Amino acid sequence: MNSMEKGDVKSTYKSNDTEEWLDKVWTRPIGYRWALLFKRLHVHPNTVTVLSMIIGAGSAFFFAHGSYRTEGTEGLVFNLIAVLLLAWANFYDSADGQLARMTGQKTRLGRILDGAASEVWFIPIYLALVYRFYMHHALEFQWLGIEDTSRNTWIATGVLLIAVLYSGFGCHSRQCGIADYYRQVHLFFLKGEAGSELDNSAQQRKLYEETPWKGNILWKAFLKTYVNYTAAQEKQTPNFQRLMGMLRERYGATEHIPQAFRDKFRSRSLPLMKWTNILTFNTRAIVLYAVCLLDLPWLYFVFEIVVMSGICSYMKRKHERFCKELIASIQ
């Protein structure tokens, strides 16, 4: 890729502050190529997002049948196909945003779909890994000294399913949601409203209530989901909500917030961007690929519940702490 093309790729970044190094050297350049192709074909960014959902969800079938301990070479091949499909879905998930920024085709629906993409991938993948354990668990039973009976299999699978549901909805969704929120907050103070997709639940709830049901059933459903999503983000960030309330009260419109304060917020927020990146796709996917290729997929959920939850808690504490300090500085 020549220097001009590298410059063009950078123009499709949300910001250099919020881009992960692996995305810069791998995901964004490949996503950019796809975005150029979709632009020539006049494909809408939302269509690309839907394609990423289909491909990512489709990888679940191959993850489910990827146990090479019992399936041999076929299982290993299925694992590799699953990895390739999920990586392909991620390239499209990058390309949709890059295409939207290249063409100016940014929509609220696109924001909602993009936020939902990873959920559409990971829900079937998580359930597929539960099925994989149900079918292939002899080694784990041997380690634990459990007799491999039908009753024990159902009990163990049920326990794993409960852990997986907690991992998915109690950890994954909340971790990705707050990481995305902190990135949008950072972009807001870096670039202003035009360069951020920072929404608040009150505005989204008003839009939901003002949208008639007639002819808008699907759109209303999307909006309701998004209202709940933004409300959950705000609930986790009480000090930041208080800070934003004080800034609106003091300066009125958010574009009147002094640049000096924006710079100060950015300097405190920037060190946390590496944690927001860890909590989104790349680290999660690399661990998933590794444990599935090791044929111990249940280890992924241990990682998500223990390690990722610890990182998320640390990040939230740091963010809330500096927001509290900024509140004190402007009182």
Residue 248 one-letter amino acid = R
At 195-228, the pLDDT tens digits run 777 888 988 899 889 999 888 888 888 888 889 9
**pLDDT higher than 50, residue 3:** no
Write down the mean pLDDT value for the chain.
91
Q: What is the pLDDT of residue 118?
A: 79
Q: What is the pLDDT of residue 5?
A: 47
Where does residue 183 rank: exposed (0-12), middle (13-18), buried (19+ CB within 10 A)? buried
At 43-78, the pLDDT tens digits run 999 999 999 999 999 999 999 999 988 888 999 999
At 179-195, the pLDDT tens digits run 999 999 999 999 888 77
At 72-81, the pLDDT tens digits run 899 999 999 9
Mean pLDDT over residues 293-300, rounded?
Answer: 95
At 243-256, the pLDDT tens digits run 999 999 999 878 88
Q: What is the pLDDT of residue 216?
A: 86
Residue 4's pLDDT band, with cuts at 50, 70 and 90, is very low
Residue 2's pLDDT band, with cuts at 50, 70 and 90, is very low
pTM metric for this prediction: 0.90
| Angle, helices 108-135/45-64, rounded to nearest 10 degrees | 10
**pLDDT higher than 90, residue 285:** yes
At 147-176, the pLDDT tens digits run 999 999 999 999 999 999 999 999 999 999
Mean pLDDT over residues 15-28, rounded?
Answer: 90
Q: What is the pLDDT of residue 233?
A: 93
The 3-state secondary structure of the chain, one letter per residue: CCHHHHHHHHCCCCCCCCCCHHHHHHHHHHHHHHHHHHHHCCCCHHHHHHHHHHHHHHHHHHHHCCCHHHHCHHHHHHHHHHHHHHHHHHHHHHHHHHHHHHHCCCCHHHHHHHHHHHHHHHHHHHHHHHHHHHHCCHHHHHHHCCCCCHHHHHHHHHHHHHHHHHHHHHHHHHHHHHHHHHHHHHHHHHHCHHHCCCCCHHHHHHHHHHCCCCCCHHHHHHHHHHHHHHHHHHHCCHHHHHHHHHHHHHHCCHHHCCHHHHHHHHHHHHHHHHHHHHCCCHHHHHHHHHHHHCCCCHHHHHHHHHHHHHHHHHHHHHHHHHHHHHHHHHC
Domain boundaries, the chain: 3-330
How many CA atoms lie less than 13 Å away from 161 in the CB half-sphere? 12
Determine the Cα–Cα distance for residues 313 and 270; give it in Å rounded to an integer: 17
Class of domain 3-330: mainly alpha
Determine the Cα–Cα distance for residues 327 and 168; give it in Å rounded to an integer: 34
Q: What is the pLDDT of residue 301?
A: 98
At 83-134, the pLDDT tens digits run 999 999 999 999 998 999 888 887 777 777 877 887 889 999 999 999 999 9
